[in-house]
Chains A and B, each alone.
Chain A
Amino acid sequence: ILNVEQSPQSLHVQEGDSTNFTCSFPSSNFYALHWYRWETAKSPEALFVMTLNGDEKKKGRISATLNTKEGYSYLYIKGSQPEDSATYLCAPRRGNTDKLIFGTGTRLQVFP
């Protein structure tokens, strides 16, 4: 069983605040880490795929870092906007397989 924990479970921030949350996963047999965003009433969408220890990825105001040795990834949102409100899911992959198991998710709500 792949134990993937995300914290916090939920987060409420004001527009303009910067925020970050964590994905923790077993570091053994690590292959890749995927981040997804899932807005209410829409489909989950891929944000980042990260493979190397120390990787940093950025898309607009959202960035992510990866530590494969200690088994965690951080997702940062700079200057949160209401449209950032969504559930953010991480999914580590062990080996080059199609098996993608999602973490528990962090639900972000950004208030105007």
Chain B
Amino acid sequence: DTEVTQTPKHLVMGMTNKKSLKCEQHMGHRAMYWYKQKAKKPPELMFVYSYEKLSINESVPSRFSPECPNSSLLNLHLHALQPEDSALYLCASSRAPGELFFGEGSRLTVL
């Protein structure tokens, strides 16, 4: 299994909602990532977990809360988001630094 699976593919939420994005990989990779991508811009790093511990937080607002319940799963909990948070959220995993396997992304719309 060489896939990174993200769910849901599309999510629409209001500014008062609480929702979560999920990511799963079964490649035994030790690191998992969240990136945010807005139209016509490159993916922007948000968080990195290494061996289930948060190792990088790129000064992301607290309305985004990552969680790594085990080595195969990565969640991104969303609460009190703003319309400008609408974007494609990409999950990735890696065995070696920099060699990322990406999922297809979750397209988030905040109304």
- Chain A contact residues, CB within 8 Å of chain B: 32, 34, 36, 42-46, 49, 89, 91, 93, 96-105
Kindly supply a per-residue 1/0 record for chain B positions 89-107, scoring 1 wherever the CB is within 8 Å of any chain A CB and 0 otherwise.
0100010011111111100
Is B21 in the interface zone, CB < 8 Å from A?
Answer: no
Selected A-B contacts with CB under 8 Å, 29 pairs = A34-B99, A42-B104, A43-B4, A43-B102, A43-B103, A43-B104, A43-B105, A44-B43, A44-B100, A45-B102, A46-B99, A46-B100, A46-B101, A49-B98, A49-B99, A89-B42, A93-B98, A96-B97, A97-B56, A97-B97, A98-B48, A98-B55, A98-B56, A99-B56, A100-B33, A100-B100, A102-B44, A104-B41, A105-B42
Q: Tell me, in angstroms, the Cα distance from A99 to B31 when the chains sit together.
A: 11
Contact B42 A104 (CB under 8 A): yes
CB distance from A56 to the nearest CB of B (A): 18
Instruction: Give A4's nearest chain B residue, CB to CB.
Output: B42
Q: Tell me, in angstroms, the Cα distance from A45 to B92 when the chains sit together.
A: 11
Q: A44's contact among B44, B56, B98, B102, by CB below 8 Å, is which? A: B102
| Top 6 A-B pairs, shortest CB-CB distance | A102-B42, A43-B102, A98-B48, A44-B102, A34-B98, A98-B97
Kindly supply a per-residue 1/0 record for chain B positions 37-59, scoring 1 wherever the CB is within 8 Å of any chain A CB and 0 otherwise.
00001111100101000011000
- Chain B contact residues, CB within 8 Å of chain A: 4, 31, 33, 41-45, 48, 50, 55-56, 90, 94, 97-105
Q: Tell me, in angstroms, the Cα distance from A93 to B90 when the chains sit together.
A: 19
Q: Tell me, in angstroms, the Cα distance from A102 to B73 when the chains sit together.
A: 24
Chain A neighbourhood of B42, CB < 8 A: 89, 102-105
Contact B105 A32 (CB under 8 A): no
CB distance from B103 to the nearest CB of A (A): 6
Chain A neighbourhood of B44, CB < 8 A: 102
CB distance from A76 to the nearest CB of B (A): 21
Known interface pairs A102-B42, A105-B42. Does A91 touch B90 (Cβ–Cβ under 8 Å)? no
